[in-house]
Structure 1
Amino acid sequence: MRDVDQNPTEESLYECFECGYVVVAEDNPGSCPDCAGEMRNRRTPIE
Structure 2
Amino acid sequence: MKDVTTDPDEESTYECFACGAVTRATSPIECPECGADMRNREIPVE
Q: Same fold judged by TM-score > 0.5?
A: yes
* Backbone CA RMSD of aligned residues: 0.8
TM-score (norm 1): 0.87
Moved beyond 3 Å, runs of 4+: none
How many residues align? The count is: 46
Q: What stretches of structure 2 of length at least 5 have no aligned partner? A: none
Identity %: 52
Residues of 2 paired with 1:33 and 1:7: CA distance?
Answer: 23
TM-score (norm 2): 0.89
Q: What stretches of structure 1 of length at least 5 have no aligned partner? A: none
